[in-house]
Structure 1
Amino acid sequence: MPTMRFYRFAIAALVAFSEATSPALLHQNTARQNVTTSSQRLGLQWLGGNSTLPKVLVLFTGGTISGGSIYGALDDTQYGQLSINGEQIIARNPYLLNHTQLAVSNWTSEDFSTGTNDALVMNMTRFAHDALCSEDSDIDGAIFTHGTNSLEETAFLMDLLVNCGKPIVGIGSMRPWTHLSFDGDANFFDAVMLAASPESRNRGVLVAFNARILSGFWVTKLHSTNPDAFWSTAGGDLGIFINSLPVFFNSPSQPLHKHVFSIDQVSTHSTYPSLPKVDILYAARGFDGKLVLDAHANGADGVVIAGTGNGGIPSGSDEIKEALDQGLQVVVGTRSPYGPSSPARTPSYAKSGFLHVIQARIQLQLAIASGMGMNQTIDLFEGKFRTAIGQEWTPKQ
């Protein structure tokens, strides 16, 4: 794993300082006691000269939005040789600082890749929670840039862990900044306007992409190359951008099946800052149940199976039962892009409901990190769904 190189203020937010013993450290501690806002405490440097404008934190993890190509303005598949940082992206659009104050927090790794590992993303999520949700917060919202390959994973994770009402907006681009039709500048501007808007509060994590506003809970990437790559597996769009300003379709609401986890509790798990290991298996005719046992033997605490149809598993039930008896937690979703994986009348493992298998994996990781057993995980995934369809279930004691 590449060594993480964070800015000084990111490190200051995550590392516990020992008791000061020297005059210099005593002076620093006294200075920290005089800090009045989270911006000052975290060492954020705000760009823009108008202190009355909304403050939007930019969590920068790179991605295609920061990548460029040496192969010319038509290349949108072989890029990555060139890179720009968050401040350079902001400088490309002088209109940004007419509307907001921006501070960049860098969460890239040495190879300037996106935040594609759990440890980096969890640390960034804790930083965002501290910056936005602490009692001394003076920040109105945040955006995070991200590689589109795993943007939906970070959006869903943050949606379940950061819930103080302030907007967090995920964005990226499908084309490099050297392309003749770079989509990143527009997506970035839209995201900042969305994060700064009071209308965005209490809607959970949002995603701004291709002039559309999507829920971070339901969003998934459905196209590998098209600029209109992101859609919702349920619920539909929340709004659109007109003249790069957000226009919502409905008043603020949250998904009915959403469970809010305690970031402090999750952070006490032995795997932190990583999350418990959960693998995804894809079911088809002739599914080999031994793969479930192999995942457990390889250190997995849980497995999510992309089942057929309404969450079916064609074969391998004996091996799955054996794995459950050994303590592995199992969630079964559907390999279909839309529709639910519905509960069984008498469950031995959880069905994912309307959650896509990618989101189901993250929710299972958080459930395990929160100390939930298999029966609690079943209730987590299925409880409200079962109530809605009149199919209640009580586990045997």
Structure 2
Amino acid sequence: MNPKKIALTFLAAIGLLGGAGQATAQTQTQTPAKPNVVILATGGTIASRGADSLALTDYGLSKGLKPVGIEALVAAVPEIEKFANITGEQIFNVGSSKLGIDNWLTLAKRTNEILASKNVDGIVITHGTDTLEETAYFLNLVVKSAKPVVLVGSMRPSTGMSADGPLNLVNAVALAASPAARDKGVMVSMNEVISSAFSVTKTNTTNVATFKSLDGGDLGYMQKSTPFFVAQPLKRHTVHSEFDVSGLQKLPRVDINYTTLGSDGVLVDAAVAAGAKGIVNAGVGHANMPDVTMQSLKAAQQKGVAIVVGSRAMSGIVTPTGQFAEAGFVTSMMHTTQKARILLMLGLTRTNDPKELQRIFEQY
């Protein structure tokens, strides 16, 4: 290019020349394109209706009131359009206490299909709160994308006084649309708090501040629908995970045995008889249990059942030492028993070796 053409090109680029320069300046002042966020609806309280504004615990199908579909859910909160271009899909419409493993596999596979599109920047999944932490952790292990995936729900139905669903949904969409949320693993956005799927758990039956991260701490907070991160998840997740459900139609059966004073091994024996491939024992304190329970667990292990020992306490770490290591049991580390069950189910799709399973529990 000759010097004259170079000069004209430069002047046009900085807007000091008419024609092309003006067009460039106009382009630079256009509003940037909004991210594209897909909302996958699965049901739960956020999609439920009550008989009146004070029906905060008795609502939904149990009262003969049909749940709200994805179209109505999105239309009720037009503010989400401020943060992203929204499309929605009703995966299923079920209270989370009624979900099964087949629902998880359907949701995980569809999530991965959608995230594979270059035209999608993030996903929000509306979900009932009863098992929200379990679905979040399952997806955290099997989603194959660094794009944001945010689970959200509500503690009060859409018809309830001071319903928390609308603002929760706005914040979830804003979080999923934010570039800062990439590669944070699957997140839960509730009550203006951003939580990691690894550490979050439901701690109260009805309070809107029920979701807390007792040991791992919160990832960040939503302020004016803007995410402010204060931590980064260090456990393996999503694109860093070795688990893949793309070809799975079911998961190995894993049962939980809850230890109490004076409990025995009857339920452990029953789990083995029912075909359990793994058992998570929710012990007392640092995974302790009665001798008779220990004997049943050892007998189950001899039959090829994988044994993970954890604690019924809501926080703390169960380390792979002492009598449990000597017995060849896997210890749950910082996983709650319900999340230990999920990790063991997925772990058993790859190995039954206690040492390999222990590695998995330490890395995830």
Matched, 1:122 2:105: yes
Does structure 2 retain, via aligned residues, the 8 Å contact 1:51–1:101? no
Shift of residue 144, structure 1, vs aligned partner: 0.5
Aligned mate of 1:98, from 82, 86, 98: 82
CA gap 1:365/1:239 in 2 versus in 1, 3 angstroms = same
CA distance in 2, matches of 1:257, 1:159: 9
1:46-65 superposed matches below 5 A: 52-65=33-46
Show the counterpart of 1:8: none
Does structure 1 retain, via aligned residues, the 8 Å contact 2:221–2:228? yes
Shift of residue 185, structure 1, vs aligned partner: 0.4
Shift of residue 94, structure 1, vs aligned partner: 1.8
Show the counterpart of 2:26: none
Matched, 1:220 2:201: yes
Does structure 2 retain, via aligned residues, the 8 Å contact 1:59–1:104? yes
Matched, 1:279 2:260: no
Shift of residue 214, structure 1, vs aligned partner: 0.7
Show the counterpart of 1:302: 278
| Residues 176-185 or 306-315, more deviating | 306-315
- 1:208 partner SS: strand
RMSD after superposition: 2.0
Show the counterpart of 2:294: 317
CA gap 1:372/1:52 in 2 versus in 1, 3 angstroms = farther
CA distance in 1, matches of 2:243, 2:54: 43
In the comparison of the two structures, how many residue pairs are matched?
Answer: 324
CA distance in 2, matches of 1:116, 1:375: 32
Percent identity of equivalent pairs? 35
CA gap 1:257/1:128 in 2 versus in 1, 3 angstroms = closer
Does structure 1 retain, via aligned residues, the 8 Å contact 2:243–2:346? no
Matched, 1:78 2:61: no
Q: Which runs of 5+ in 2 are unaligned?
A: 1-30
Show the counterpart of 1:29: none
1:1-397 superposed matches below 5 A: 52-70=33-51, 72-80=52-60, 81-109=65-93, 112-114=94-96, 116-132=99-115, 134=116, 136-250=117-231, 253-256=232-235, 260-264=240-244, 266-268=245-247, 272-315=248-291, 316-345=293-322, 346-347=325-326, 348-382=328-362
Q: Can you list the C-alpha shifts for 1:301-321, whole angstroms capped at 9, x where unaligned? A: 111111111111222222211
One-letter amino acid of the structure 2 residue matched with residue 121 of structure 1: W
CA gap 1:225/1:335 in 2 versus in 1, 3 angstroms = same
Q: Which runs of 5+ in 1 are unaligned?
A: 1-49, 386-397
Shift of residue 290, structure 1, vs aligned partner: 3.0
- 1:174 partner SS: coil
Shift of residue 117, structure 1, vs aligned partner: 1.0
Does structure 1 retain, via aligned residues, the 8 Å contact 2:279–2:307? yes
Q: Can you list the C-alpha shifts for 1:351-395, whole angstroms capped at 9, x where unaligned? A: 10011111100000000122343332123224x69xxxxxxxxxx
Does structure 2 retain, via aligned residues, the 8 Å contact 1:311–1:342? no
CA distance in 2, matches of 1:233, 1:274: 31
Shift of residue 254, structure 1, vs aligned partner: 2.5
One-letter amino acid of the structure 2 residue matched with residue 129 of structure 1: N
TM-score, normalised on structure 2?
A: 0.84
- 1:126 partner SS: helix
CA gap 1:124/1:257 in 2 versus in 1, 3 angstroms = closer
Q: Can you list the C-alpha shifts for 1:5-46, whole angstroms capped at 9, x where unaligned? A: xxxxxxxxxxxxxxxxxxxxxxxxxxxxxxxxxxxxxxxxxx
Higher-helix-fraction structure: 2
CA gap 1:113/1:336 in 2 versus in 1, 3 angstroms = closer
- Max radius of gyration: which structure? 2
One-letter amino acid of the structure 2 residue matched with residue 116 of structure 1: L
CA distance in 2, matches of 1:377, 1:276: 14
| Residues 351-360 or 114-123, more deviating | 114-123
CA distance in 2, matches of 1:173, 1:130: 26
CA distance in 2, matches of 1:344, 1:291: 25
CA distance in 1, matches of 2:118, 2:47: 28
Does structure 2 retain, via aligned residues, the 8 Å contact 1:118–1:273? no
CA distance in 1, matches of 2:150, 2:237: 18
Does structure 1 retain, via aligned residues, the 8 Å contact 2:332–2:361? yes
Does structure 1 retain, via aligned residues, the 8 Å contact 2:48–2:66? yes
Does structure 1 retain, via aligned residues, the 8 Å contact 2:147–2:182? yes
